[in-house]
Structure 1
Amino acid sequence: MRVLDRPTFDGWLWLDGYQLNKKGDAVTRRELFVQQAGLRKVSTPAPVPRRGGRQVGSRPSGQPPLVRRDRG
């Protein structure tokens, strides 16, 4: 979030930032016109850990392990 350098009324600000989805990815840019006296500082939420795909060679639970057979 950043404060934009736009002319405005005394005590008001234009803020520029992004709306985040559940994964924490920026999805929509937003500009907000706010009264500075109405703002309060909050702690930054912890980042959401990203869920990667399965590791190569891993199997879903309940399935037998893969067996490697040499060709020869």
Structure 2
Amino acid sequence: MRSGDLLRLTRAASPQYVRPIVVRVIRVLDWPTYHGWLWIDAYELDSKGDAVARRSLYVLVEGVQRMTAPTSAATTRRSLRGGSVGVG
């Protein structure tokens, strides 16, 4: 995980994400944590792909869903509304 990554966070990433959210990573923090978990600074994105909040998030790396970066703003809006998005 690195700066610029687009992630979808669900309950697999942490029980706090009852409602999945999409974020863009600002940076991975070097705060002490348990094996397999990370603290990240990220922007939470709305359905249009616009940043609505800056958050520090604690996530289980194995549960994070990586999304492919859209090629345009229109693609960003479509993909965040549930269109075709690569997850890896």
TM-score (structure 2 length as normaliser): 0.44
- Larger relative contact order (C-alpha < 8 A, sep ≥ 6)? 2
| Aligned pairs, number | 49
In 1, Cα distance between equivalents of 2:38 and 2:29:
7
Structure 1 residue runs without a partner (length 5+): 50-72
Corresponding residue number in structure 1 for 2:61: 36
Compute the RMSD of aligned alpha carbons.
2.0
Q: Which has the higher helix share?
A: 2
Alpha-carbon deviation of 1:40? 3.5
Whether the 8 Å contact between 1:24 and 1:47 is mirrored in structure 2 is no
Larger CA Rg, structure 1 vs 2:
1
Letter in 2 for 1:7: P
Where does the alignment leave 5 or more consecutive residues of structure 2 unmatched?
A: 1-24, 75-88
Question: Alignment partner for residue 27 of structure 1, among 27, 52, 70?
Answer: 52
1:11 to 25, 36, 48: 36
Higher strand share: 2
Q: Report which stretch shifted further, 12-21 or 40-49.
A: 40-49
Note the alpha carbon deviations across 1:11-66, whole angstroms, 9 max, x for none: 100111112234433221012111111123321123325xxxxxxxxxxxxxxxxx
Identity of aligned residues (%): 49
Shift of the 23–41 alpha-carbon distance from structure 1 to 2, 3 Å rule, reads closer
TM-score of the pair, normalised by structure 1: 0.52
Task: In structure 2, give the amino acid aligned to 1:38.
Answer: G
